[in-house]
Structure 1
Amino acid sequence: MSVATVKVATTIAQQAYKHRTKLFVISASFSMLLFAGAFFVFMGSDSQGGNSGTAKVNEKVEAWRPVVTQYAEKYGIPDYVDVILAIMMVESGGDSLDIMQSSESIGLPPNSIGDPTLSIDVGVKHLSNVVKDAKKKKLDFWTPVQSYNFGGGFNDYVSKHGKQYTFQLASDFAKKMANGVKTKYSNPVADFNGNYRYMYGNMYYVKLVQQYLNAPSGEMGNADASALGAKDYKELMTEVSKYDGWGYTWGGSNPNVGFDCSGLTQYAFGKIGYNLPRTAAEQYNTSIKVADPQPGDLIFFKGTNSSRPANSITHVGIYVDEKRMYDANNSGIGYSTWNQGYWKSHLAGFGRVIK
C-alpha cells in the first residue's frame, strides 16, 4: 500500500471516528428521520432553502434529506439537494453504508466508507467540486452530475465540445476512455441505444438520476395557467423531462428508439390521455389554433426542412412560456428559446390539444 493510500485511509478512519456518535444517533433515531423527511416533503420546503419536494425516492433515502441538506449547504450547492437524493437512489437505494458510493472519489475501493453520514459528506463535497468547476467553465446544470460518475475530466471534455451536456457527449467520452470496449447493459434506460455501455463509468448516469426527479416547477413554467389543467401539465412535463439531453432520432416515437419532434409530443401527450396524430403537420391540422398560448399548448414552425415546401409545418414543440418551449430538435431534447433567432423566423403559430 502506498504512503498516499495509507494517508487517505487514515484520514477516513479519523473522520469515521468523529462521525461515530453522529452515526449512532442517526441509526437510533431512524424512525424519527423518516418522520422528519416526510414532514419536509409535506411542507414543500426545507429549513435550508433547498429545492425540496422534486425527488421521487424511497423512504430510506428520503430519511436522509436533513443530512443531505446540511452538507449541500456546507459545500455551497443547496440547489442540488434533490439531485443528491436521486444520486443516492442510483448508487445504493439507501441499502449501503457507503450510501453515495463515494469511496472511489477519494481513491479508495468501492464501499470502503462504513458510515452513511461520512459517505454523504465525501459525496456531496465531490459533487460540489465538479459543480463549481462546471460553473467556472460556464457549463450547464447536468454536466457535473455526469462528472460525479465520470470524474472531472468530463467537465473538460464538455467545455471543449459546446459547453452543454448531451447523451452523445457522455457516450463519446466513455468510448474514448474505454478505447471503444463495450459491455452489455440491460437497464431500461439503455433500451433506446441497444442495451450496451462502454467500459468506463456509466454513460447513462444523467438518465439514471433524472428518472428519480420531477421537473422543477420553475423550469416548467406556470402550471396553473395551462389549458390542460395543472395536474396534466405537470405530468406532461415530468414525462418529457425524462429524456432531457437525449439526442434527436429521426422517426423516433418512443423511448426504445428515441424521439423526433412530433414523436416526443405524441408519446408524452399519450401518457396523459391525449391522442395526437404522428406528424407535426397532422398535429397542427387537428389542434385548435390560439393567439394567446398557455403552457402545454403546441407551438409550430414552418420551413425548417429544406426538402419540403417553405410553408409546410415541419416542427412542433410544447409551449412553456413567452420565451421557452420544450422540443426535440437537431441539438437534442430539452428547453429551447423560440422567441428569437432561427425559431422566431420560422414560427407558424400555436395549437391547443383537446381530448
Structure 2
Amino acid sequence: MPEIKTRQVQKGTIKSLDRVATMTCRIKNVQTRTKDLVDDPRTRSSRSPDEYASNRITGMAQDTGTDAVYAAEKTAAWSAGKIRHAVHQAQESGYVIPVRARSFVRIRRKKLAEQEQVAARQRSIRNFANGRQLARTKGKEKAIREFAKQRTVVDSRKRSMQSVRITKRAVRRTGRMAQRTARRMRDLIRSVKAMIGAISAGGILCLVIVLVCILFGAAFYFFGDDSSANYTPVSPEVEAYSAVISKYAGRYGIGEYTEIVKAVMMQESGGKGTDPMQASESGYNKKYPHSPNSIKDPEYSIQCGVQALASSLKEARCKNPMDMDRIRLALQGYNYGNGYISWAIARDGGYTVENASDFSDMQAKKHGWKSYGDKQYPAHVLRYYPYGNYNYGIGNGKIISVAAQQIGNRGGQKFWSWYGFHGRVEWCACFVSWCADQCGYIQSGTIPKFAAVGNGISWFKSHHQWQTRSYKPSVGDVIFFDWGGDGSPDHVGLVEKCDGRTVYTIEGNSSDSCRRRSYPVGGRQIYGYGVPKY
C-alpha cells in the first residue's frame, strides 16, 4: 500500500482576546463616563447616572456575548474549511476516506449546523431585545413630549385664570368707587334740595348756614376717608314718599326739614308697611285705633307723623336744619313724647344722652315696664340725616359717669355675674360691657357686648372705628392694652379724659379692682383704641 503523502502544515497557536481584561477596561470606561454624567448638569434632566451605568454594563455584556458567538462561528467555519480542504486533497490523490473518517465529517458538519442554528437564535433574541429597548426609549421620549405639552397647557390656563382674577378685582374696585361716588353725589343733591327748601322758606340766615354746610359736606365726602363717615342713605322705599313728605312738611310749617322727616321714617320702618311713620299711637291719629300699626293708609301715617315731628321741633325751639342740639332734643321728644322736652330743658337746658337714659328708666319704673322708648333714638335717626355725621362726640360722658360710680369695687362679681359667668373670670371687658349696657349703648349697637378683649378689638375694626396707639383719644373711647408687648392684647378700659400728653382711664380688674389709671399718649403698653360713635 503506497504511502500517503500529506502536506506539511506548520502548526501554530491561534491567538484569542483576553476577555476578562477587555471587560475590566470597559467597566472602567463606564465608571469614568458615569462620573462625567454626574458632573454634567445637561444629563441630569434626561436620565440618572445609575441608569446610564446599568444600561452600559448590560450593553457590554451583550457585546461580549456577541463577540463570543462570532468567534465561535469564525472558528467553526475555519475548521470546516480545513476539513473540506483535507478531504479534497485526499480524494485528488486517490486516497479513499475510511468510513470512520466520513462519519467524523458528517458529525462535524452536523455540529457546525447546530452551532449555526444556535447563533441564529441568539441573533434573533439579540435583535428582539434591541427592538424592545428601542421601543421603550421611543415611548419614553413620546411620554416626555406629551408631558411637556400638557404642562404648557396647564401653565397657560393658570396664567389665564390669574389674569381673570386680577381683572375681576379691578372691576370690583371700580364698582365700589362708582357706588361711593354716586352716593356722595346723592348726598350733595340732597343738600342742594335742602338749600332750595330754605330759600322757599325765606330764611336768609338759614340759607347761609345751609350753603356753608353744603361746601363743607362736599369737601368732606370727596376728600374725607370712609372710616369716619357715619351717614347711611335712606332706602328707595323712603325716597318714593318724597313728594308726599314735601306736601305735608310744607303744610305744617317744616318745609326745610324734609330730610329729617325721611330720616325718621327710615328709622321707624324703612318706608315699608301701611304705617311708615309709626304714628298709630300719636295723638294726631283721629281715624284708627291707638295701637301699634293700626293705621292702614301710608299717606295718613305720613300726615300724622309730620304733624307730631313739627310739634316736637317747635317745642324744642329749633332754628334751622343745622341746629343739631335742638334737633336731638326734638327727635328724642318724638320718641318719648313732648313731655320729655320740657323736662330735659328744665333739668339740663336741653338734650343729653344722660338725661335721655334717666328719663327712660324713670318712665319704665313708673309704668312697671321693662323699658321705655329708645335711649339712643337721636343717634339712630341722624345716621340717615345728611348733616348728622358732622356732630360726633355728643353724649360720650354718660358712660364715664357710670364707670366712675364703680371705682373701688373689688372682685368684679357684679360685672362678670351680670355677663352670665358662674365663677370669677378676668373681668375688665365685662366691666366695660356693663357700663355700656347701663347707658343703652349695647342695645343701640354703639358698643358691643364682649368678655374677651380680642372680640372687642375685632368688632371696632370691622366697623371702621379703630385707632392706633398714636391717636389722641377722646372721652368715652375704649382703650386696649398689650402689657407683654407681644402683639396679644390682654386688657381694656375706658378713657376718662386726655390732655394731649397723658391719657386718664377708668379700668375694671386693675389689681382685681375698679380704679383710675394714667399713661403717656402713645405709650408702649397701649395697643389701640375703639372709638364708639356716640
- Normalised to the residue count of structure 1, the TM-score between the two structures is 0.49
Q: Which has the larger radius of gyration?
A: 2
From the two aligned structures, give the one with the greater strand fraction: 1
Relative contact order, higher structure (CA 8 A, sep 6+): 1
- Normalised to the residue count of structure 2, the TM-score between the two structures is 0.34
